[in-house]
Structure 1
Amino acid sequence: MGVAVMARMTNGWVFVLVLIAVLGACILVYAAIVCWPQRIPKDQSVNGIRERIEDEERQKRRCDRG
């Protein structure tokens, strides 16, 4: 009878440990997704915006001349 009780307790602890591991992994994956830096699209970077402004200014100068 003592062995059966020990087996049940071991199964219970294994379940608890696996549950904690799975929940911990889920939390880590969620944190990684939320905190991972996203790449800024090229046209929204500082250089991309600068190029767009310069292109617009060049087009305005062409229109003013012609």
Structure 2
Amino acid sequence: MIVLGWVAVVGIPLIVFIAAVLWPERIPKDRTVEAIRKRVEVDDQRNRHGDNGRRWRRY
């Protein structure tokens, strides 16, 4: 019975901690390779047309 108590007190939190540390985190949609590529292409198109992003700046 004492062994079962130690498993509950030490083992379960240890398993939860290891799972929380090693579990892969989901990548937000705006941080994917595809989203970054689209932003770069849009910036390149703006720069080619001489806009240089001026309409987005407030100064």
SS at match of 1:63: coil
Task: Report the TM-score, using the length of structure 1 for normalisation.
Answer: 0.65
1:24 maps to amino acid: G
The structure with the greater share of residues assigned to helix is 1
TM-score normalised over the length of structure 2? 0.71
How much does 1:16 deviate?
3.6
Counterpart of 1:54 in structure 2 is: 41
Q: Secondary structure at the match of 1:55?
A: helix
How far is 1:58 from its partner? 1.0
| Deviations 1:24-54, CA, capped at 9 Å, x for gaps | 1001100110111101122221101101110
Kindly indicate whether structure 1 or structure 2 has the higher relative contact order, using CA contacts under 8 Å at least 6 residues apart: 2
Aligned residues: 51
What is the deviation of 1:17? 2.0
Q: Give the aligned partner of residue 17 of structure 1.
A: 4
Alignment-mate amino acid for residue 29 of structure 1: V
- Gap regions ≥5 residues in structure 1: 1-13
Unaligned runs of 5+ in 2: 52-59
Counterpart CA distance in 1 for 2:21 and 2:48 is 45
Larger Rg: 1
